[in-house]
Amino acid sequence: MDNFQISLAAARVNAGLKQSDVSKELHVTPNTVVNWEKGTSEPTISQARRLAAFFGIPLDRIIFMQEETN
């Protein structure tokens, strides 16, 4: 499992959301979100940007699972 899959699933679970909730927000099928989390497909750059905005986290964190440093 790569960083994107881990960070997407973690962001979704931490937000208390179902895969179907994310799919509705991004206007994709629930199966698309399942495939992103399984690693069988990846979002486009614009979809990744919308995911980051939806979860309120920086794009590089959702892609590379980078923790913010203070």
The residue with greater pLDDT, 60 or 14, is 14
For residue 68, the tally of other CB atoms under 10 A from its CB is 8
Domain ranges of the chain: 3-64
The per-residue pLDDT for range 15-69, each reduced to its tens digit, is: 999 999 999 999 999 999 999 999 899 899 899 899 999 999 888 877 775 444 4
8 Å CB contact between 7 and 65? yes
The residue with greater pLDDT, 1 or 15, is 15
Angle at the Cα of 36 (from 12 to 48), degrees rounded to 5? 75
Q: For the domain 3-64, what is the CATH code?
A: 1.10.260.40
State pTM to two decimals. Answer: 0.81
Determine the pLDDT at residue 65.
Answer: 57
* CA gap 28, 64 in Å, rounded: 22
